[in-house]
Structure 1
Amino acid sequence: MIITGDNESEISNLRNDLSVRFDMKNLGEIGCFLGLEIEKSDQGYFVMQRAYAKSLLERFSMGDSKEKATPMEPNLKLKKDKGKPLKDARKFRQLVGSLIYLTITRPEISYSVSVVSQFMQNPRTPHLEAARRILRYVKGTLDCGLLYKRCDNFVLSGFTDADWAGDTNDRHSTSGYCFNTGSAAVSWCSKKQNIVVLSSTEAEYVAATMATQECVWLKRLIEDMFCEVDYAVQIKCDNESAIKLASNPIFHARTKHIEVRYHFVREKVLSEDVELLSVRTNDQVADIFTKALVEPKFQRFRDALDVVILIARSCYPGHT
């Protein structure tokens, strides 16, 4: 394996080696790739999709719409059979599909996009309005993106959370997690659980299992690319019962109904691959992936993900 990093000599040797086998062209420093715009600064690399977001506003006639401070109205519960069915569902599906691609650099809209994507089969007017609200939020945050700073301490860590029975259509819970390596988020997820759980503890336990699976994959990726991860990755959870359940090797009556595959997190905790730590609910960053939040809390957790605003070709944290 050839590790190039910032070694110009090794980079040059790799280019020469590849050019013998492939038709190559040196385009210099990366600036735009598949809709991703990369801006290099003294602080690090800033990644955004400003041009792509602007094209969405124009494509769906939202350029003159009123801006919103959050992508979804707090406490909004969308029903699958409430509202007038759309005459042409194709436009709704195109909008949601485009928003899914935007989550590559905008993790803070992941929950809102995951909610509206559940109504692709038979969308109705409230679902379309919810998707349009996401665009109104994007309109006011066009210059937002992820700032990956140069870090002296490269340590993988994460947050995991769940919203118990939050979906009023089928009473499934929503899992959310995010991971970083000392800077902006490198992995995140907002996903409805595929089973009905019987308590908030079980919902958090299932969410912790999903986060642990992602953690194992990230550890292997880091070890392949950079260095060995020889420490227990800290994953913060705001449910004490779920933490105790994950560290308890005794399969007692309270967990008999839980599917075996969800005890994966317990195995990884006991083998010290991961460490579940308690965090206050007010400091639970993954909360942004499980429910629609009020503006102050939403902006605080957005900043914690290092979703910042690009101003005058320099990267600065900030609010809309």
Structure 2
Amino acid sequence: MIITGDDSEYIAFVKARLRDQFLMTDLGPLRYFLGIEVSSTSDSFYISQEKYIQDLLARAALGDERTVKTPMELNVKLHPTDGDPLSDPTRYRHLVGSLVYLAVTRSDISYPVYILSQFVFAPTTVHYSHLLRVLRYLRGTITRRFFFPRSSSLQLQCYLDATWASDPSDRRSLSAYCVFLGGSLIAWKTKKQTAVSRSSVEAELRAMALLTAEVTWLRWLLANFEVSITTPTLVLSDSIGAISVACDPVKHELTKHIGVDAFYTRAQV
């Protein structure tokens, strides 16, 4: 059991009551939990999975000591029919599943893990080679960790983007976003859109609506934690067209098929 909060007296009271009812041991401040390592200083917290990565690399048994600077090559397009089918896909599935959990603290591998997880049903030699590249990237960046400053402001700021018709198998677009609370990254996602977008503006607007829903929930969650959000949340997009539609969806008659996303985003603003 993990007890959190900033009232040390009440935490001590809860632990004492629990000891009266259950056989338990007080392990002290959180250090390690389900593969996640937590450390703190006077001005910050750090979260990492260094030991988890070491164990993962040991299980992968890579035959060399090479490292790479990026987890995936730029603009790579993977197809289900690339390469020869693996005789035993169990190893591929196990490693990809481990990477999915690792992405809890390593947002930099979210995109390649999303791509590779699409082929767990029938992986090929090409897919496996890209999986090994992610592992070599992790070997070279094993000490990276999340940094959460204690003095960070409690205001949300978000970034979003979309890749239009980027999936060669069905031409659906990808939505991607990240959310910062002050200087701390607290939420991120890469997700294939549920419908085919007929323009880059449409793809960007769908990503904007997805992020808007996330921001709405986060503001509600912070309010429940009695964290006062006094300023509007900045949602930063590089699509002039999507911003224009979101600001005034009424005048864009050709966007009826994406009107729900446009009006939802505008309503939240």
Is residue 75 of structure 2 the alignment partner of residue 75 of structure 1?
yes
| Conserved? CA contact 1:174–1:190, under 8 Å | yes
Displacement of 1:81 after TM fit?
A: 1.2
Aligned to 1:155: 155
Displacement of 1:22 after TM fit?
A: 5.1
Larger mean Cα displacement after TM superposition, 15-24 or 150-159? 15-24
Is residue 199 of structure 2 the alignment partner of residue 199 of structure 1?
yes
Is residue 129 of structure 2 the alignment partner of residue 129 of structure 1?
yes
CA distance in 2, matches of 1:89, 1:186: 33
% identity of equivalent residues: 38
Whichever residue aligns with residue 154 of structure 1, its letter is: L
| Conserved? CA contact 2:161–2:207, under 8 Å | yes
CA distance in 1, matches of 2:38, 2:61: 27
Q: Relative to 1, partners in 2 of residues 1:258 and 1:66: Cα closer, same or farther, differing over 3 Å?
A: same
| Conserved? CA contact 2:96–2:117, under 8 Å | yes
Q: Specify which structure has the bigger relative contact order, considering alpha-carbon pairs within 8 angstroms and separated by 6 or more residues.
A: 1
Displacement of 1:235 after TM fit?
A: 1.0
Larger mean Cα displacement after TM superposition, 22-31 or 63-72? 22-31
Larger mean Cα displacement after TM superposition, 19-28 or 231-240? 19-28
CA distance in 2, matches of 1:126, 1:229: 47
Aligned to 1:145: 145
Q: Relative to 1, partners in 2 of residues 1:12 and 1:93: Cα closer, same or farther, differing over 3 Å?
A: same
Q: Relative to 1, partners in 2 of residues 1:19 and 1:230: Cα closer, same or farther, differing over 3 Å?
A: farther
Whichever residue aligns with residue 52 of structure 2, its letter is: Y
* TM-score using structure 2 length: 0.92
Aligned to 1:318: none
SS in structure 1 of the partner of residue 258 of structure 2? coil
RMSD: 2.0
Q: Deviations over 1:252-286 (max 9, x none)?
A: 422112263564222212xxxxxxxxxxxxxxxxx
Q: Deviations over 1:16-40 (max 9, x none)?
A: 3554565543210111000000111
Q: Deviations over 1:220-248 (max 9, x none)?
A: 22112232334321111111111111121
Displacement of 1:106 after TM fit?
A: 0.4
Aligned to 2:15: 15
CA distance in 1, matches of 2:141, 2:129: 19
Is residue 215 of structure 2 the alignment partner of residue 215 of structure 1?
yes
Whichever residue aligns with residue 241 of structure 1, its letter is: G
Q: Relative to 1, partners in 2 of residues 1:82 and 1:259: Cα closer, same or farther, differing over 3 Å?
A: farther
Aligned to 2:241: 241
Aligned to 2:26: 26
Aligned to 2:59: 59
Whichever residue aligns with residue 201 of structure 2, its letter is: T
> How many matched pairs?
267
Unaligned runs of 5+ in 1: 270-320
CA distance in 2, matches of 1:6, 1:63: 48
Displacement of 1:191 after TM fit?
A: 1.2
Q: Deviations over 1:177-236 (max 9, x none)?
A: 011111221100011112110111111100011111111121122112232334321111
